Structure 1
Amino acid sequence: MMLRQQLVLVFGISLATDPCTLRSCSSEAQVSWYCNCNLTDVPLVPKDTVKLFLTYNYISQVTATSFPLLEHLLLLEIGTQYVSPVTIGKGAFRNLPNLRVLDLGNVKILHLDLDAFVGLPSLNVLRLFGNDLGDSILEERYFQELVSLEELDLSSNKITRLQPHPLFYNLTVLKKVNLKFNKISNLCESNLTSFQGKHFLLFSLRSNYLYETDKKAWAKCPNPFRNITFQSLDIGENGWSTEKVKYFCTAIKGTQIGSLTFGVHIMGSGYGFANLKNPDVDTFAGLARSDLNVLDISHGYIFSLNSLIFQSLGNLDSLNVSKNKINEIKNQAFFGLRNLRVLNLSSNLLGELYDYTFEGLHSVIYIDLQQNHIGMIAEKSFSNLVNLKIIDLRDNAIKRLPPFPHLASALLSDNKLMSVVGTKIAAMQLELERNWLANLGDLYILFQVPDLQYIYLKQNRFSYCVKRHNVIENNQLIYMDLGENMLQLVWERDLCLDVFRALSKLQFLHLNNNYLSSLPQEIFRGLTSLKGLNLASNLLSHLSPGLFPQSLTILNLSRNQLFSPEPEVFMTLSILDITHNKYVCDCALKSLLVWLNHTNVTLAGSQSDRYCVYPPAIAGVPLSFLTYEGCEEDELLEELSFSVFVFTSVTLLVFLTAVIVFTRCRGICFVWYKTVTKKIIGSHPQVADQSEYKYDAYFCYSKNDFEWVQNSLLKHLDSQYFKKNRFTLCFEERDFLPGEEHISNIRDAIWNSRKTVCIVTRQFLKDGWCVEAFNFAQSRYFCDLKDVLIMVVVGSLSQYQLMKHKPIRNFLQRSRYLRWPEDYQDVDWFLNNLSCQILKEKKVPKKASVIELQTVATVSHG
């Protein structure tokens, strides 16, 4: 049952409850389904059958020989046949000695032999609803041997008199009798003598014709329920006015009733009918000695709750007056309800709540006021309700909240709240959906509510932020829904970027439908316990590595605009939804395709929900249909087709021959050039001036690239590797102080070096420390007004891949970078060029630097 409810609530999936919808005309695992099988007789079933379903057939007669001996059968459903009448003969079920449940319901016309149920000593439940049965079903001896009968359903028949046969004395365990939707019009003590001494868990006379013509019939009849007690008595939907309810309560004086339902009545004046009477102090006075716990007077026309109307119901635990026309609650209306814990006033016409409205409800725990027209609430309306835990004020017109006691849940959705400033509320669960809240700064106030764990804020108007408070560090929030707002308008202006910073216990966050085109890099910092994040239905096209907390396991990115997301972003997840995005299916998507084919992450949705959008030729093709065999690891170059190669090779043969000869000898030419230069200029290489700086250059690179950097650069430039090298270099593995904060080491290295050389590789772009060092170097560029940053690109990184990173894009707008040569014989030339760049001193125009500094500052804060 719990699984069924979850499927219905979460996924909207409704599972069939009728067993006959699952299978038919077969037997399996002691259950036989023979529904809708065009049967005219009872079929042969296995002897060990426990459940047998025979509904929706053409079986018109059941006799003593219809069933073989089925000693294990516990449940039989044979109602709802396509023929009528259906005749049940003498001893028709005698071969089913252990039957517990017999369903003969919904046969249009049912003919029963007086001895039809003979031989069923173990029967607990008998359903005879909707069978066109008359008074004789109760007045004759049909149930003479059903000594184990606990539940009898005779609803929706044509019974007019309630005068059960004396044999009902023998049904000592009978607990539930359902007589609703009949035509019973009499109810006196003499009618129910066979029920005296019984305690009914449920007794329903709902929707009959009780005393339809005689308004004062209760005065003429003694108590019909004398010596009978009820856990639940339902006499609703009988068209009773205030006078008839009063007569009834007076007539049954002293009868013990746990729950009494008058629901669907005509008590009350409604809206504007003063000639009709609302319940008053005398209406329910006759129930004073009934020890009533639950009273349901919903679905009526009560306009005013008069003073002391419930004063005689001191033991009442739950009161339901929903779906009336209540517009007025008079002073002391609830006096006497000293033990009331649940009050339902929903779906009425209340417009104001006053200080005296709930006086006398000292024990109330839950008040339901949803779907009224409440716009004004007095300051002390709830202040004296010290035991109140749940207040439901959804779907009203509230603009300002009064103080509340400490609550478990405050349900305030669908109102007109524009701000929570000055609100005095303490609750574990706070629902504020579909209000008019627009200032994201109000969240800093809500986060200070003591013990707040769940907050629902979707479908508000959050679009700007004026911060008034900081979030308390011991915040207890574990669930927050901010879906369907306009947070993009807030964060694109760099406002309230620390709104989640102190929510260290938050586990689930919804940010769907917020028009988000990008996410600030630090927005989720501090969410160290975050498990689930919903970013569905936004405009996200790119996700930066390191954006999400390491604790994240569930991520919903469906219906965004992701082109080619990097799989590194999803490494911590166990459940991921990336359906219905706008994938560009080229070689840049290779890494994602490889990951999708090998990941253990549970992917939501079907494979057809992840499809190409571009290029148009393959739009709509699922990603699972794509192959990446034609894509090299180097994403910059595309593989030339064989046919093009054959076509161009002959034409270029002579030219390529000449180029190859020159190319193979260019290294020797460069050596000759350096030899001649040394002899002309001098034999000693130029040495950098070290009077101002501790190092000539700080080499910044990813730890994963250290071995290559050492062999290719450090050994040829650093003087501690070889004395003939001219530079004193700084790099992490040798020169960073152990135990010092990493960011401090980076900052000291940059400011103590003449130049900073960033070795940009794929690993560099994924390393947050490297990108941060790049930012620091640019900051010094604007402080010293010198070109102190040298960028060396290694590998097959394209211009597009470099420009995706804002700090690098800003650098490329003013400077050029060096690229590591692909041919080994060009290495000496490159090292010479790099050495010249380290030694060169280049000033920066001050005016231009001020403009660029603003841009870099924006990048750093983003």
Structure 2
Amino acid sequence: MAGCILMAVILFSNFVSIVPYSVQLPEKAYYVANYSHHSLHSVPKDVPLQTTVLDLQQNYINILVISDFSSLPNLKVLNMSQNVLGELDCNVFSLNKELVYLDLSHNSLTIISNQCNEGLQHLDLSFNNFQSLSMCEKFENLIHLDFLGLGAEIVHRSDLRGLEHLMLITVVLELEKLSDYEPGSIQMLNTQMLRLVLPIKEMDPWIILSDALNASVSLEVSNINYTTTGIGPESFKHSRVSDMTMEKVTLTWSAMIGLFQAIWKSSVKSLTVKKVTLVGLIKREQFYYGTTSVQAVTVQNVTITKYLFSQDDVYIFFSEMNIQNLTLNHDSILYMLCPSKPSPFRHLNFAHNTLTDATFQDCHTLVRLESLILSWNKLTELSKVSFMVLNMPLLQHLDISHNSLQYEMGDECQWPGSVLSVNLAANDLTDSVFRCLPTTIKKLDLQRNQIGYISAEIVQLLALEELNLASNRLKDLPDCRPFKSLAMLNVAFNVLQSPSSEFLHSCKSVETIEADNNPFQCDCDIREFVYQEKQTSARLTKWPASYQCAYPETVKGTLLQDFRISELSCNRTLLIVLVFITVAVLALFLFCLCKYLDIPWYIKMLWQWTQTRHRNRIRSNRPQSLKQNFSFHAFISYSERDSSWVKECLLPNLEREDGSIQICRHERNFVAGKSIVENIVNCIDKSFKSIFVLSPNFIQSEWCHYELYFAHHKLFTENSNELILVLLEPIPQYLIPARYHKLKALMAQRTYLTWPKERGKQRLFWANLRAAITVNLPEADESGPFQESGERI
């Protein structure tokens, strides 16, 4: 729809800037059609039928007809300010029975015809071109009217008679082009608040102002632009105004003092003066304070045209006021005098000036002061500020924010014992500030400073309930020990990455924590923090939308409540226990596997085989070391009781058909006629290796013992390594007789081959045994050196 920004289902707050507070519309769905600033010359024809709020301000519309709004039965609010309307026929809105708000200000209206809808609550016709207020007779039927804006060049009592019966809340009376005023006219209005715009051209406004002071309880006056006046101290004596505001005031200092003097004796309780221009010379003027109804004075945005004057002539006028509240904002005051006697001041507001630490030093007369606001000034040293307020025994609230305050460690600080609230926001304070604070405070604002860490070794703020540390450099939550009563903590916009969960656990009194918009490091610590937050009564404000992971990159943007990490990754004790159990189970599994598969035996045999092959390679490289009289590869010593294993198992696996391995055994190779001992020695000498088949039977054979003795003797006398022990059956050490000490020594010192019962292991056993005896022997005579002989026992 051209030129239309249609917003459906919008609450009243969305267009509160259009509808003044005086019109209370029901809170429900509204349809707003906004055509402002569209350079329109007439009301558009395509306004949605459901429109309730129509904004047509700042266009060029010069005429209205009934068809412009006849299709909008739900229209409640119409804003047509700042157009070029010249005439208005109220019948234009005859079909808009729901219309309650009509703004036609800042147009060029001169004529209004017919009566307006009686349901109107807000009607603004100010800043138009009306010659007189005679059109007010058209408003007699507006019994629901709360707000009325008027303006004319001529104001007579008779023109306002039709409004006497209306119970108005606010009346705007714009008299910028006033040329004729009948005294008492304004008093015809029955309103609670009067906003009066005085004439711009020079004419005595004081008759108008005097009437205004008797027309309402609240009065706002603008355009007091006169340098001289005949107003006297008693001019406003019979006024009924309680709250008075003067804006756009241009007066001499003398006229300003006169106006204040008149107000001082009136019914005014609260006086506000804005946008003041003081013209001419400034000199000290006499002012009679006396008894007054005035309780609060506010002076804002003062401009001085002549600078050659004594500052004390101005400051003494304000410092001696016998009122409770004094506000001097945006006035560029350099300092303020201490009252000459005990002052009734309870609240002083000197924000947005150029006051320094020297203000009120050694001042003993502000004995009733409860609140002091010195924000946006030139304060630099916190310790000096403490001495500034030291003599204010009832001071409870101190606002020294937006200065350049610092605190140097070691500077002495003394505060009155009554301070409950201190605002130190937007200064240059660091961690040391916690050593220069009043111990009685309940509310402390330190946002936007340079605080990075809060130690437990600070002034104990045991009464502190609210602490604002937003926008600092905190990397962790503060230690709770100095803040036993803390209920609210704000640490938003800091550099918290892994806030300690200990704070939540130890600070039982904390009810609210605001920690949003921090660069949280999503790890085990943050997991514990979130868990503790759920377990405690403390509430995280803006949770969960403003609590997101910033690191690591893989989870950046993830809400803290959605971040997941395993318990195993965070519990070191559990991890150690789990690793220990895993290792133990694995070790037990490997042990059982090794036991079941006899893996140590295989490893042992492979090692022996490797060592044997290594020794054989060394010998093959040194043939000269091999004796030329070896006739056999091995001599076998065994018990006759083990002969079946030797003959049926050992010999068939060692002696090959090609005759490459020659075995010497007593049944076959002992020489007849020689003694058994001599045959044993000859066989051992003629054999490259000596194989002893060990078993319990072996240790019972006397001849086996002799053979072992001679072989052992050769082992040591020739420094050879040609002895092979084959353990056919296990031999417990306790079964070996004491006289067989050589056997015990050999079994303890030398590696022996164990005959495996399992068939799968036997192949490796034979490989090891063959490798141990394999060697190239010299060629022997065909007859051989021995002949078979009888058996031995």
Q: TM-score range, shorter-chain basis?
A: 0.5 to 0.7
- What residue number does 2:330 align with? 347
Tell me the CA shift for residue 658 of structure 1: 8.8
8 Å contact from structure 1 (residues 444, 468) kept in 2: yes
Following the alignment from structure 1 to structure 2, what is the Cα–Cα distance between the partners of residues 205 and 93?
29
Alignment of 1:812-851 (within 5 A): none
- What residue number does 2:641 align with? none
8 Å contact from structure 1 (residues 55, 78) kept in 2: yes
| 1:168 maps onto 2:161 in alignment | yes
Deviations 1:67-109 (A, max 9, x none): 5997xx8x8333328985475436444566786x341424744
Q: 1:559 to 1:351 in 2, by over 3 A?
A: same
Match of 1:481 among 420, 445, 449: 445
Tell me the CA shift for residue 115 of structure 1: 1.6
Q: 1:313 to 1:304 in 2, by over 3 A?
A: farther
- What residue number does 2:149 align with? 153
Q: 1:149 to 1:306 in 2, by over 3 A?
A: farther
Following the alignment from structure 1 to structure 2, what is the Cα–Cα distance between the partners of residues 222 and 503?
57
Equivalent AA in structure 2 for residue 395 of structure 1: W
Other structure's SS at 2:329 match: coil
Match of 2:122 among 107, 122, 125: 125
8 Å contact from structure 1 (residues 418, 435) kept in 2: no
Equivalent AA in structure 2 for residue 342 of structure 1: N
- What residue number does 1:321 align with? 299
| 1:374 maps onto 2:334 in alignment | no
- What residue number does 1:461 align with? 429
Other structure's SS at 2:76 match: strand
Tell me the CA shift for residue 240 of structure 1: 1.9
Tell me the CA shift for residue 480 of structure 1: 2.9
Equivalent AA in structure 2 for residue 438 of structure 1: Y
Match of 1:235 among 221, 232, 241: 221
Deviations 1:471-502 (A, max 9, x none): 9xxx65443334455555x76xxxx53326x4
| 1:437 maps onto 2:420 in alignment | no
Other structure's SS at 1:225 match: helix
- What residue number does 1:452 align with? 420
Following the alignment from structure 1 to structure 2, what is the Cα–Cα distance between the partners of residues 561 and 80?
51
Tell me the CA shift for residue 343 of structure 1: 1.9
- What residue number does 2:76 align with? 76
Tell me the CA shift for residue 366 of structure 1: 1.9
Unaligned regions of 5+ residues in structure 1, if any?
A: 1-13, 21-26, 269-276, 401-414, 577-598, 640-655, 670-862
Deviations 1:744-763 (A, max 9, x none): xxxxxxxxxxxxxxxxxxxx
Deviations 1:162-197 (A, max 9, x none): 33544525532354331337322444xxx2555445
Unaligned regions of 5+ residues in structure 2, if any?
A: 1-12, 20-25, 37-41, 305-310, 579-587, 602-793
Q: 1:78 to 1:393 in 2, by over 3 A?
A: closer
Match of 1:179 among 161, 170, 173: 173
Deviations 1:229-261 (A, max 9, x none): 3323333224222x13x4487877755443444
Other structure's SS at 1:142 match: helix
TM-score normalised by structure 1 residue count = 0.51
8 Å contact from structure 1 (residues 374, 396) kept in 2: yes
- What residue number does 1:594 align with? none
Other structure's SS at 1:353 match: coil
8 Å contact from structure 1 (residues 365, 390) kept in 2: yes
Larger radius of gyration: 2
Deviations 1:588-621 (A, max 9, x none): xxxxxxxxxxx99777364894254357xx8778
Equivalent AA in structure 1 for residue 464 of structure 2: L
Name the % identity.
14
Alignment of 1:137-148 (within 5 A): 137-138=133-134, 141-146=137-142
- What residue number does 1:524 align with? 480
- What residue number does 2:549 align with? 610
| 1:565 maps onto 2:524 in alignment | yes
8 Å contact from structure 1 (residues 55, 81) kept in 2: yes
Match of 2:284 among 306, 316, 339: 306
Deviations 1:41-69 (A, max 9, x none): 698979xx9x6646469794344996599
Deviations 1:625-667 (A, max 9, x none): 9887999899879x9xxxxxxxxxxxxxxxx999874477999
Following the alignment from structure 1 to structure 2, what is the Cα–Cα distance between the partners of residues 324 and 575?
56
Following the alignment from structure 1 to structure 2, what is the Cα–Cα distance between the partners of residues 83 and 624?
54
8 Å contact from structure 1 (residues 318, 342) kept in 2: yes
| 1:556 maps onto 2:521 in alignment | no
Deviations 1:502-523 (A, max 9, x none): 4444344344555455679xx3
Alignment of 1:330-341 (within 5 A): 333=317, 338=322, 340-341=323-324
- What residue number does 1:206 align with? 197
Deviations 1:800-822 (A, max 9, x none): xxxxxxxxxxxxxxxxxxxxxxx
Following the alignment from structure 1 to structure 2, what is the Cα–Cα distance between the partners of residues 288 and 462?
46
- What residue number does 1:61 align with? 64
Q: Give the number of the structure with larger relative contact order, counting CA–CA contacts within 8 Å between residues 6 or more apart.
A: 2
8 Å contact from structure 2 (residues 242, 269) kept in 1: yes
| 1:103 maps onto 2:91 in alignment | no
Following the alignment from structure 2 to structure 1, what is the Cα–Cα distance between the partners of residues 147 and 434?
64
Match of 2:467 among 509, 512, 515: 509
Other structure's SS at 1:205 match: strand
8 Å contact from structure 2 (residues 125, 150) kept in 1: yes
TM-score normalised by structure 2 residue count = 0.55
Equivalent AA in structure 2 for residue 530 of structure 1: L
Other structure's SS at 1:202 match: strand
8 Å contact from structure 1 (residues 240, 266) kept in 2: yes
Tell me the CA shift for residue 222 of structure 1: 9.9
Match of 1:295 among 271, 275, 289: 271
Count of residues in correspondence between the two structures: 548
Alignment of 1:612-761 (within 5 A): 612-614=551-553, 661-662=593-594
Following the alignment from structure 2 to structure 1, what is the Cα–Cα distance between the partners of residues 399 and 209?
48
Deviations 1:418-476 (A, max 9, x none): 76599445533333444433246779965x8346255546633335589799x9xxx65
Following the alignment from structure 1 to structure 2, what is the Cα–Cα distance between the partners of residues 30 and 516?
44
8 Å contact from structure 1 (residues 236, 262) kept in 2: yes
Tell me the CA shift for residue 153 of structure 1: 0.8
Match of 1:498 among 441, 452, 457: 457
- RMSD of equivalent CA atoms: 5.5
